Amino acid sequence: MTTVTLIGRDGCHLCDVARGVIDHVLAELPEEQADAVTVEEFSIDDDPALSELWWEKIPVVLIDGDLHAHWRLDAARLSTALRHADAASRTSEVSR
């Protein structure tokens, strides 16, 4: 399973755009890969620690907890990263 985390806030235009990019990329992935992705979203307005860490960089996108992008999210780059994460996950399952 791969987790994509979007950190933003209400009223943030770039956050809305990032959300749309994530939705678009997931819709374009093969169903088996898209089903292996969980998307979670957090607002810096609800979490002072997130606000302190990311307020000047929202939207922030993490993949499995690692920074993938901030400010602008590129669909092709996200798609590639999710495909690599899926391949790595499948390799890890086979080696168990």
The pLDDT assigned to 88 comes to 78
DSSP bridge pairs for 6: 41, 61
Q: Is residue 65 one of the residues assigned to a domain?
A: yes
Q: Which domain holds residue 71?
A: 17-37+60-95
Would residue 52 count as lying in a domain?
Answer: no
Mean pLDDT rounded to a whole number for the chain: 93
- Look at phi and psi of residue 71 and say left if phi exceeds 0, alpha if psi is from -120 to 50, else beta: left
- Predicted TM-score (pTM) above 0.85: yes
Give the CB-side neighbour count of residue 84, counting CA atoms within 13 A: 9
Say how many domains are in the chain: 1
Evaluate whether residue 4 is within a structural domain.
Answer: no
Task: Give the pLDDT mean for 21-50.
Answer: 96
Asked if pLDDT for residue 42 goes beyond 90, the answer is yes
How much of the chain exceeds pLDDT 90, in percent?
A: 88
pLDDT: is 3 or 88 the higher one? 3
